[in-house]
């Protein structure tokens, strides 16, 4: 299983979204969001043999990031090796255009 590493910028973005969700809904919904994101990433870390293509976004692919789409709204930009999956950015999808 790959080790999951979340860089500070990505972590701040995830927590900012969770705070916004909490302010719009019940307070525990933000915590549920962060738990769901973590579980989503851990499921992908467990698949050691899985290879990820580069992002379709030109700016992200130039930086050699691979991308995962979370809940059809969020783009998770990361780099991976056989032992680690390092999340560098957590971006709202429409912001990429």
Entry pTM:
0.89
Asked whether 77 and 87 are in contact (CB, 8 A), the reply is yes
Please give the mean pLDDT across all residues of the chain.
Answer: 90
Measured distance CA(37)–CA(47) in Å, rounded: 16
pLDDT tens, residue by residue, 28-61: 898 999 999 999 999 887 777 778 899 999 999 9
């Amino acid at each position: 299983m790959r080790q999951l590493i979340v860089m500070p910028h990505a972590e701040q973005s995830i927590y900012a979204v969770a705070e916004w969700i909490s302010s719009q809904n019940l307070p525990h919904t933000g915590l549920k969001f962060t738990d769901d994101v973590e579980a989503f990433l851990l499921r992908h870390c467990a698949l050691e043999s899985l290879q990820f293509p580069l992002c379709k976004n030109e700016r992200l692919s130039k930086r050699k990031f691979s991308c995962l789409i979370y809940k059809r709204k969020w783009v998770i930009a990361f780099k991976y090796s056989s032992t680690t999956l390092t999340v560098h950015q957590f971006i709202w999808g429409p912001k990429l255009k």
